[in-house]
Amino acid sequence: MIAGETVSSPENSSARALTGKCLCGAVQYVVADEFGYALNCHCSNCRRATGSAFKPFAGIERGKLRVASGEHMLMMFGDPSAAHDAHCKACGSLLYSVVREGAFAHVTMGTLVDEPSIRPTAHIFVGSKGRWFTITDDLPQFDEHVVGG
C-alpha cells in the first residue's frame, strides 16, 4: 500500500493511508490518518525508549495500523499479547507501542514518512521530564496523564 491509498478500518470506513518506517527501512507500516489524539510524553520510559527528551505519539485503534513489510524484523519489548513496544531488530527504531489492553497503538510520529493531519495537543508526564530540557511551546502541560484522558 502506498501513501494516498485508503486503509480499511474495522468499521469498513476508509481514510487516507500514511506510511511509516524504521531508520534502516527493514520495517514499514501503514496506518489510517484517523488518529484520535496526539501527545508529547516526557515519562522516563518514553525518554529511554527514544533516547530523546520526549516521545511525540499519535493514538489510534490497533486495527487501523498494519505492518506492510518486515514483520519478521520486529522486536517486541513487553508482553506481545498485551502492552508492548515494537522496535526494528536491525536498527532499534521504536515504531509504535501497543497500549490500553491491546486496543490502541501509539505510533511514534517521528517514524511517519507521510504527514498526519493531527498535531500534538499537550505535554504529558511533565512531572518526570528531564530537568535538562525546557519546554518552549504553549501547549498545555500535565504532571501526569491528561486530565480526563
> Can you tell me the distance from the alpha carbon of 149 to that of 138, in angstroms, rounded to the nearest whole number?
19
Predicted confidence band of residue 130 (pLDDT cuts 50, 70, 90): very high
- Residue 148: its pLDDT value, please? 57
Asked if pLDDT for residue 143 goes beyond 50, the answer is yes
Q: How far is CA 133 from the centre of its chain?
A: 21
> Can you tell me the distance from the alpha carbon of 109 to that of 94, in angstroms, rounded to the nearest whole number?
10
- Residue 67: its pLDDT value, please? 97
Mean pLDDT of 84-91: 96
CB-CB contact of 15 with 7 (8 Å): yes
Query: 0.75 exceeded by the pTM?
Result: yes
Predicted confidence band of residue 6 (pLDDT cuts 50, 70, 90): very low
- Residue 147: its pLDDT value, please? 67
- Please report how many Cα atoms fall inside a 13 Å half-sphere around the Cα of residue 1, on the Cβ side: 23
Asked if pLDDT for residue 17 goes beyond 80, the answer is yes
Work out the percent of the chain whose per-residue pLDDT is above 90.
81
Asked if pLDDT for residue 5 goes beyond 90, the answer is no
Residue showing cell 511514534: 108
Picking from 47, 55, 49, 58, the residue whose alpha carbon sits closest to that of residue 20 is 58
Whats the size of the chain, residue-wise? 149
SS3 content of the chain, % helix, strand, coil (to 5): 15, 40, 50
The C-alpha R_g of the chain, in whole angstroms, comes to 15
Cell numbers linked to 35: 488518529
> Can you tell me the distance from the alpha carbon of 16 to that of 60, in angstroms, rounded to the nearest whole number?
14
The β-bridge partners of 96 are 86, 107
Predicted confidence band of residue 125 (pLDDT cuts 50, 70, 90): very high
